[in-house]
Amino acid sequence: MAKDVLCEVSNCTFWDSGNKCAADTIYVVSHKGKQASDHEETDCRTFEPVK
């Protein structure tokens, strides 16, 4: 599990100093169903497809 989840949305309830996310859980979605080809098809900049 990642130690630091970064967030640039400073008006979110879970935003914390240093652009950190303080939420207990993170929910990542795909815009293409359950599979995506690259990060642009998700709401996750660090997405990498399984090889």
pLDDT at residue 1, as a whole number: 74
Half-sphere exposure of 26 (CA within 13 A, CB side): 14
The position carrying tokens 């989840």 is 5
Give per-residue pLDDT as tens, 1-51.
Answer: 778 999 999 999 999 999 999 999 999 999 989 999 999 999 999 999 998
Q: What is the pLDDT of residue 3?
A: 85
Helix, strand or coil, per DSSP, at residue 41: helix
Residue 51: the pLDDT is: 87
Assessment of whether the complete model's pTM goes beyond 0.75: no
State residue 2's pLDDT score.
78
